[in-house]
Structure 1
Amino acid sequence: MSTVVEGRATLACLYAGAVWGLFWIPLRALEGAGLHSLWITTVYFLVPAVCILPLAVLRWPHIRRAGLAFQITVAASGAALTLYSASIVFTDVVRALMLFYLMPVWSMLLARVVLKERITPIRIVAICMAISGMLIMFGLGVRFPVPRNVGDWMGLAAGVFWAITMVRVRCHQHHASADLTVGFFFWGLIVSASAALMLAPEHMPSWDQTKPTLPLLLLFMLLLVIPGTYASLWGPKFLNPGVVGLLFMTEIVVGAISAALLAGEPFAAREAIGVLLIAGASLVEPLVSLRRRRV
């Protein structure tokens, strides 16, 4: 694989993580409109699914020929985001984030078992930096959140499902990223709507509730979420899944900074140190690889 493609894949994953770091903005808009937490994710998936419907129709022959392997990959990706969103409802946001972002560990282990990729000392150092950054940033000290309730387990499961998705994307590089993007949104809609209908059918949102949020949702989806999702399903084709998991942690960095700037969330020395450690963990391997190429 050329270094140019690897570099672009790295940038794509960093960008994708940054986009997910702004995930909270439309979610908060939907929450402010009075939607039940479980229906927020359904509406979140519904809007981009409608936007890309013409692409889904155009790509349908290719999606149908892709077979079961493709469907398993996109179903896992949709389940991951649905579980992640639901975990925020059923447990503390901090615990959900921490447990989800064990994902680089699962990705690295799965890549070792399935793809026979080495677990390098650099990757171990980067994962330790990332976890340390989260512990500092979220004020947990040396106390790691062990799963204690259904929301915790959902956050942990979401990370596992996303790790499975990344490994499968790497294994099946022939699947077009446009098709994966279509499958991600439609399977996410299916899984999230099923969960909402089972657990909170009486809270189905009305048109009057969702209508005021549509301009923001459409703008956000068209400019950020759809391109970011494409990037998150293209970049992992060319990188080690464990590295991909670390690159996606720009979500925490961008999320913390954007929440401080736009929502007045606290951002002091503790948050700054955590952000620097997490950002450093995301960049360790790309920078080491770049240095080796120049030597």
Structure 2
Amino acid sequence: MRSHLPVIILFGASILWGLTWLPLKHINALGIDGVTLTFLVYGLLALVLTPLLLVQFSTWRMHTKAMLLILILGGGANLAFTYALVNGEVIRVMVLFYLLPVWGVLGGKFFLKEEIDRWRWLGASLAVFGAFFILGGFEALDAPPSWIDLIALLSGFFFAMNNLVFRAAQAVPVGSKITVMFYGCFALAGLLLIGGVEQLPQVVSGDAWLALALYSLFWLLIANIGSQWAVTHMEAGRSSIIIIMELITAVISAMLIAHETMIPIEMAGGVMILTAAFIEAARTKDDEIPETTI
């Protein structure tokens, strides 16, 4: 049972991530918009994990460059992802977010100087064509993608770049990296609110505060800790395949609960992106962790 525990925990955490749109949409329906929701949720998480960041200060203080990159990239990824899920169609946002094979290949080649084999290029190509179909195929050339589409794409790009920094900064404890990522999301959302991008709600009900606190301190915290703990206790390729359950869960739940649908060309694009994700996961190896000084 002990050997199967990481698999069970990662499977559960991936399902939580795939269903995260449910509490987000619920909290939004209670009167808290995307940027404000993100500011409050990640502010609570950052506050709770601050003691861990302080305890580990002596370990990460020599890696401020990596921490700054995680603050910006990780914070930006979570902000964009949350905002896109709150305001967009769940299936469309999740599928566009999962263009990770493209960003992973490009980032690995140009920033980490990784050797890219033909399978990874095939995965990246499938993901690109899949996104093209999701965005409407050749009809997408008649008009630019929607701003939610662009935010979903941006969230996936930031997430992939943040993963590269996570992998590169092996000397920094995982807990510190997660906490500074939460702080980044909180800070970036705060800057947008100061800039007047979104109006703060005049009145927030007790139900909204309760839902927000439960989502932040239980749902997100459990999903983050579960996924991070599990991937450090199992093979990288195996964990990458299980994590794809997040996308599958999101698509199926959105169809069943939100009654979202996909036209045939979008389905074809989604299958291509899912195939690309499996290709990327299948060739992931544990020894693909570079040494770095950041």
In the superposition, the TM-score normalised over structure 2's length comes to 0.71
Match among 41, 46, 49 for residue 43 of structure 2:
46
Offset at 1:140?
A: 3.3
Deviations 1:117-165 (A, max 9, x none): 12221112223444555666x5835655885565444334333322321
Q: Distance in 1 between matches of 2:107 and 2:8?
A: 23
Q: Distance in 2 between matches of 1:115 and 1:14?
A: 29
Matched, 1:76 2:87: no
Tell me the residue number matched to 1:254: 249
Offset at 1:219?
A: 2.9
Instruction: Tell me, yes or no, if the aligned pair for 2:95 and 2:273 is still in contact at 8 Å.
Output: no
Aligned partner of 1:222: which letter?
L
Q: Which moved more, 1:36-45 or 1:275-284?
A: 275-284
Q: Distance in 1 between matches of 2:62 and 2:87?
A: 38
Q: How many residue pairs are counted as aligned between the two chains?
A: 276
Instruction: Tell me, yes or no, if the aligned pair for 2:136 and 2:265 is still in contact at 8 Å.
Output: no
Instruction: Tell me, yes or no, if the aligned pair for 2:11 and 2:245 is still in contact at 8 Å.
Output: yes
**Which of the pair is proportionally richer in helix?**
1
Instruction: Tell me, yes or no, if the aligned pair for 1:75 and 1:183 is still in contact at 8 Å.
Output: no
Deviations 1:101-122 (A, max 9, x none): 4342122112112222122211
Mark the CA change 1:150 to 1:270 in structure 2 (over 3 Å): closer, same or farther.
Answer: closer
After TM superposition, the structure 1 = structure 2 runs for residues 112-131 of structure 1, keeping only pairs within 5 Å, are 112-131=109-128
Tell me the residue number matched to 2:210: 212
Offset at 1:190?
A: 1.1
Q: Distance in 2 between matches of 1:81 and 1:147?
A: 24
Tell me the residue number matched to 1:194: 191
Instruction: Tell me, yes or no, if the aligned pair for 1:48 and 1:185 is still in contact at 8 Å.
Output: yes
Tell me the residue number matched to 1:30: 27
Provide the alpha-carbon RMSD of the alignment: 4.2
Matched, 1:106 2:103: yes
Matched, 1:170 2:167: yes
Mark the CA change 1:160 to 1:204 in structure 2 (over 3 Å): closer, same or farther.
Answer: farther
Q: Distance in 2 between matches of 1:250 and 1:26?
A: 18
Mark the CA change 1:83 to 1:219 in structure 2 (over 3 Å): closer, same or farther.
Answer: closer
Which ranges in structure 2 are unaligned for 5 or more consecutive residues?
Answer: 286-294
Matched, 1:184 2:181: yes
Deviations 1:256-295 (A, max 9, x none): 12223444444898887766554443333554679xxxxx
Q: Distance in 1 between matches of 2:269 and 2:166?
A: 30
Q: Distance in 2 between matches of 1:79 and 1:179?
A: 17
Tell me the residue number matched to 2:53: 56
Q: Distance in 2 between matches of 1:281 and 1:10?
A: 22
